[in-house]
Structure 1
């Protein structure tokens, strides 16, 4: 059985580790795994999904570099009857943007909890600030994120401690 794993930012440590783990596990599961680094190019994601579909895999997993390509890649996979699973970032089947889409229009997704990651990072940052002796009243965090990528938004919006809630936020446009 062959499976295509297409991921954004394959040079990033976390994505390298995920790909290495998938490659290591695939033979034991009888899977021929094809890993493709899409970088940050949504257009490349469309091209590589087309190429993967042409190879007739049993399925594909995609970490999409740009959510605006979601409807197109979902349509390509659906037309070819190749199951497509989202990893990490949501892939919407009917809208290019991250908001305004019902959960029914999302591809199935696997990955870590972005909200939990955001809570853990904020907690660790608050601990480091306290260890440094800085006063909470005069300290703020600046969360830089891409508003177009839901997992970035979830990580930045998740902090729940009073110290983290008092932080300033600045959204970057993607």
Structure 2
């Protein structure tokens, strides 16, 4: 697994990845053959059940994802989606997977709490002859072959965030000497590493002499980000300005809240979130906030896309695409409603 690397080596002018224009479409990466999960499963007609096993299923993004999956299932007819909140428990993921296999579900979609269980999950689904789709966080078999995936391109998402943060930083006219970047997220989750590395790389390409970056490892929750940021703030009393980005909206808004609670003015914080489902709350309330922008990702779109390709596999025998990538949009206080962000 890639090691922690969200540091200043990315904040240079070195060549990086170009930002991809993503659409909600199935595409092959061309780099790896998907793990052969239940490739020989027979086509089925009549009522079918698909289980959607989700880590941290109480987070708004995953609530939206489950709702999108169920809405698409209803429109297709005779499709039931059963969502299961796994929290952060990898053992529960395996036990719920076993339970789904035992009752003979037609398809399995999983957002794994820990990517290390990938080989076990893929082997179990394959042995049972049930198609498996990895959602949001990729899963790999023991031989390194990736399971079919639906979600977002992590590096491209990060690049969009870094670009926006760089534009805001340049417009603010701040100096690197009294500014720090906080990059926050789960250090052992590959998609977080991709997002945060992508942000650092694109920021560095647009900003000469970028501020120092401080990586903060969390469990991707608001509470953990808020708590972990406290020590960083205490250790950097001389810093006047802060740039914040994170693996998700929980991470970024948690740090921004910690900064504001510590007395840092919103004008001295440039926070760029990922999700928009939490950053939008300040905008909806008309509050002066350090949450300046967020990359809007729709859990609804991912959930519905997962069910679409899974039902096509189950009923029509169409192979699961290697990757199904969803679109993203940068939003802020001026355009979040027009872009379709639902702020609950």
Structure 2 length normalisation: TM-score? 0.44
**Structure 2 matches for 1:10-159, cutoff 5 A?**
10-30=57-77, 31-94=79-142, 102=144, 105-136=145-176, 138-159=178-199
Residues matched between the structures, number: 166
Give, in angstroms, the shift of residue 27 of structure 1. Answer: 1.2
SS of 1:60 mapped into structure 2: strand
Cross-structure match for 2:236? none
Structure 1 length normalisation: TM-score? 0.84
Structure number having the greater helix percentage: 1
RCO higher in structure (CA 8 A, sep ≥6): 2
Give, in angstroms, the shift of residue 25 of structure 1. Answer: 1.2
Give, in angstroms, the shift of residue 7 of structure 1. Answer: 0.8
Higher-Rg member (1/2): 2
Distance 1:24 1:173, change over 3 A: closer
Give, in angstroms, the shift of residue 21 of structure 1. Answer: 0.9
| Cα distance in 1 for residues equivalent to 2:160 and 2:214 | 17
Give, in angstroms, the shift of residue 55 of structure 1. Answer: 1.6
SS of 1:28 mapped into structure 2: helix
Cross-structure match for 2:215? 170
Cross-structure match for 1:5? 52
TM superposition outliers: structure 1 runs of 4+ over 6 Å: none
Further displaced range: 22-31 or 56-65: 22-31
> Where in structure 2 are there 5+ consecutive unaligned residues?
1-47, 220-344
